[in-house]
A and B are shown apart, each in its own frame.
Chain A
Amino acid sequence: MQAIALTKQVTSEGAPLIILDQLDFSASPGESVAVLGASGSGKSTLLGLLAGLDVPTGGKVLLDGTDLFALDEDGRAALRGRLVGFVFQSFQLLPALTALENVMLPLELAGVNGARVEASSALERVGLAQRASHYPRQLSGGEQQRVAIARAFSVNPRLLLADEPTGNLDSATGERIIDLLFKLNQEHGTTLILVTHDERLAQRCHRRLHLDRGVLVQEQA
């Protein structure tokens, strides 16, 4: 994964506002990178661009050698389905689906045969085999996030993007979620990019990037 001169600029009340300014960085398979920064520093924008959910004003993102923004919206979606997994602060599980069905969804969308079996084993890996038929509202926050993690890993992504994955959880639960995230990251050899403002969480990553008003101010090993 490589970002080259990535720039995002919007117009706010008539004046141009630079959110990301000429950002360059890369991450290799198996590596974990924490993106830190205050509220409004551009962390979420960066994450959106890396996933191809948003379009930059300038620069490019290479994913497995493919220029994300050379593709159209649907092309990016297809690439995302194949290569990218997500974990969100607010879990983003579909309320109408059971835990198992939520994990099945990306597999079904990708047309994988035997989605049910794969999803079941993914749930088992996060320790929720017993709760497969429960709906999100019947699960605790930590359980919901584990379902989200199972969903993210179910397609064997090359890149896993996590947006404040412990933001809505108490610290003990958060701790266990992070353990799980890193464990699976190791097992799958995925590139993990983790947006957070939790320094302790960031400490566990191989590298830490600090964003300040759209500029990468510091890269720590």
Chain B
Amino acid sequence: MNSFALSLRMLRREWRAGELRVLAAALVIAVASVTSVGFFTDRVGRALAQQANMLLGADLVLISDHPLDAGFEREALRRGLRTAHTLSFPSMVLHGERAQLAEIKAVSRNYPLRGQLRVTQQPYAPDRASSEIPEVGTAWLDERLFKQLDAGPGADLEVGTSHLAMSAVLTQEPDRAGVLFNIAPRLLMNIQDIPATGLIQEGSRVSYRLLVAGEVGTVELFRTWATAGLKRGERLEGVSDARPEIRAALARAERFLGLAALTSIILAAVAVVMATRRFMARHLDNCAVMRCLGAQQRLIFRLYLIQFLLLGILSSLIGCLLGYLGQMVLAQRLGSMVAAELPLPSMLPAVQGVLTGMVTLLGFSLPFLQQLKHVPALRVLRHELGPPGRFGLIGFALGLAGISGLVLWQAGDAKLGGYVLAGMGAAILVAALLALLLIRTLSGMRRQAAASWRYGLANIARRAGGSVAQVSAFSLGMLMLLLLTVVRGDLMQSWQSTLPAEAPNRFVINIQPDQVELLRGFFHGRHIPPPALYPMVRGRLLAVNGKPVATGEYADQRAQRLLEREFNLSWSDRLPDDNQLVAGKWWAREDHGAAQLSVEEGIASTLGIKLGDQLTYGVGGATFSARVASLRKVNWDSFRVNFFVVASPGVLEKFPASYITSLHLPDAQGSLLDEMVKAFPNLTVIDVAAVMNEVRTIMDRVAGAVEFVFLFTWLMGFTVLYAAIAATRDERVYETAILRTLGASRRQLLAGLFAEFAGIGMLAGLVAALGASGTSYFLSTRILALPYVFNFWLLPVGMLAGAAAIGVAGVAGCYSVLNQPPLQTIRDNS
């Protein structure tokens, strides 16, 4: 027989009867949650893949922190490849009285080799593609810098010791990272003007790039050739590994947003269990009648299985559709961090979404469907007969395995996935245990309560299993919400309060040795005590105890990055005020000349450096060695100048150095900086407040995206509530009828219902508040190293909000129960 057609008809009938709506809603929300993240990250990933060479501005880029050997370019040209140079560094730009830190990029003819520059004469006016670069003596500003400097066309801009004329507004630049990675606005200039600026000096952080483009095969051959000749501080970036920072950020976003989305899957599983259990209970009679009418067990199982498969696929597809709409919100919130134009997503996230939906639905409904097929036909005559036996957690093994698989897949690595699974498991377990404990306590108290409350509380205790599930589900949803709102605010506040009011808010770098005294004089002349100036030498770690360091030997990515770069080294005769010695001892005056180092403990552990190790650094072309005499703890939050590695006096003085300082400058004295930059054009001033604002904007944006994903979790919480109400609805109808016949008034019944749901909401709120406090404690003390402040309000706020929201929602969901005439109800159930 055609069981598919019959299943389809049955599905239509069940749907009409409203039996499957909770299941469908749970799946739609869960799949929408997962696919909104999936579609978004897929689009960004495709943007990266499609525009990789445009994002690079070339097919291959050789990046270095020192001027590149001319041999690279010669060889590229010999092979028939096109080349261009760029050079970038931060510097102050002045226009009249205004000074602004900008990211300067100087480019040579031919730039960019891939993609294009777009410019306009006025910001927000239609822009056009430009095949030229800024002419010698001119500069292009991006919109931000244009506004900050208030520099119209032809304006005279001071960059270092040179003057450039503003000639266009830069609207698009191929090899530019999104907003996320550009703290400073952009100034584009011709590379031929660089010598006149006088800005390339010792200690300047300059990134030199050689851009290469041409035929794919030739580029590959050149790449192989160039790889062999790479020296320290030089690396190649190709199309396939373009923009590692964006890729890494994308991978992280995908991972964490994906895991956030999975919390709704876990709640969906709870909803599926509740709804399918009710479905089973309500279909026991149906199945018995069908068995009686000649349906075989196999057929019954097949009919329901096909129905669930159809329901799963349809709901998942609708979920995908909603997810597609949802990703637009995410793209809007996060998109500007990556690229302006995102390509359409692929179908892969939809496939993942449908798979997720099906695993959740089937994994947690099959045990019930299996039971349906075992309903004895004799139930038509003897109503008390149910399916044989019960199944425990083992029945959900398939579903639990499926969810674990999804989490591991999303996490992308076994360790993180394992942590998340263990964390979620522990959270659910703790929530369930707490809920059980609270339910026990509450039911002990009901003797003192008024009749309605007694009845409501008795219901919570009687349906202990269901109550525990409901309290756990709600508390998880509320926990997320409390963490994202109250706790996030608390943490921000706690961090801000650790900053002293007089914390430095400006850094000044690139101070040349011959400017030290002049700068002190500048401050004295204005009756301001000059800030402490710290010498800084840039060196690279070459060997530990005589053994050359190889980045490949470090598994830790941070360690690899640290070894790729030059460190800022300093020297001092005394331990900085806010540093704390944790091992070894600080050098005494008589040690003068004995080469010693003090290393910050964090970097020491990352690089595996121990007390007594002999470190060899390369500075410029020379090297020096020194012994690690102490390890220090540094309070980086102080915003004072601090160094990972400090040498004893007499070690570094022979190397070229630049100076750095930090100072606290009230806003009212802002003009002082403009004067200072006018007097010393090569200095770079970094405004901490501006940087912090950028960081905060980014954090808000990321938090906004996470909140959006948790919105699905929240919706799912209500689906679980609805499922829970529906699950006990039949029972309630009957009980209400009996209470009615015993003379209970409508008001008493309503109060009883409210008591029950408000009780559950209160318990969930309490569990969530405790969980949020615990998480906050862990975050502040273990991860963020902030003093933990217990927010007393979390408990009452959580409990009240939970009681009100769930109490009202629960009563609303059960309201119609009160309208059934009791006699009919009792007769139907007899």
A residues whose Cβ falls under 8 Å from a Cβ of B: 44, 47-48, 51, 53-54, 73-74, 77-82, 84, 86, 88, 92, 94-97, 101, 105-106, 108-111, 151, 155, 163
Contacts and interface: CB of A to CB of B under 8 A. Distances in A.
A77 B291 contact: yes
B448 interface: no
B381 A163 contact: yes
A151 B289 CA distance: 11
Contacts of A163: 381
A81 B289 CA distance: 11
Contact of A78 (B17, B19, B294, B377): B294
Q: 4 closest pairs, A vs B, by CB?
A: A81-B294, A111-B1, A96-B17, A74-B296
A167 to B, nearest CB: 12
B24 to A, nearest CB: 15
A110 B294 CA distance: 8
A136 B465 CA distance: 34
Given A80-B377, A92-B292, 12 more contacts: A44-B382, A48-B378, A51-B292, A53-B292, A84-B294, A88-B381, A92-B289, A94-B285, A96-B17, A108-B1, A109-B293, A111-B2
Contacts of B376: 53-54
A32 to B, nearest CB: 20
B290 interface: yes
Most buried by A among B2, B16, B286, B294: B294
B282 to A, nearest CB: 9
Contacts of A73: 297
Contacts of A44: 381-382
B13 interface: yes
Nearest to A109: B295
Given A80-B294, A110-B294, A54 B378 contact: yes
The binding surface of chain B is classed by DSSP as: helix
B637 interface: no
Interface residues of B, number: 28
Interface of B: 1-2, 6, 9, 13-14, 16-17, 19, 285-286, 289-299, 376-378, 380-382
A94 B2 contact: no
A67 B196 CA distance: 109
Given A78-B294, A81-B293, A109-B299, A53 B381 contact: yes
Contacts of B289: 92, 94
A106 B293 contact: yes
A19 B652 CA distance: 105
B16 A96 contact: yes
B297 to A, nearest CB: 6
Nearest to B15: A96
A78 B381 contact: no
14 contacts: A53-B376, A77-B295, A78-B296, A80-B293, A81-B294, A81-B295, A84-B294, A88-B381, A92-B285, A96-B13, A109-B1, A109-B290, A111-B1, A155-B294
A8 to B, nearest CB: 12
Given A78-B294, A80-B292, A95-B17, A108 B9 contact: yes
A47 B293 contact: no
A53 B16 contact: no
Contacts of B293: 80-81, 86, 105-106, 109, 151, 155
Nearest to B3: A111
A141 B440 CA distance: 45
Nearest to B17: A96
Contacts of A97: 13
Given A109-B290, A109-B293, A109-B294, A47 B381 contact: yes
B285 to A, nearest CB: 7
Nearest to B9: A108
Contact of B6 (A47, A81, A108): A108
Contacts of A108: 1, 6, 9
A56 to B, nearest CB: 12
B576 to A, nearest CB: 77
Contact of A88 (B290, B294, B380): B380
Contacts of B286: 94, 96
Given A109-B299, A163-B381, A96 B19 contact: yes
B450 to A, nearest CB: 36
Contact of A74 (B14, B19, B298, B382): B298
A53 B286 CA distance: 15
B294 A106 contact: yes
Contact of B377 (A53, A109, A155): A53
Nearest to A102: B289
A101 B296 CA distance: 19
Contacts of B296: 74, 77-78
A1 B316 CA distance: 51
A101 B377 contact: no
Nearest to B378: A53
Nearest to B303: A109
A65 to B, nearest CB: 18
B295 A92 contact: no
Contacts of B298: 74
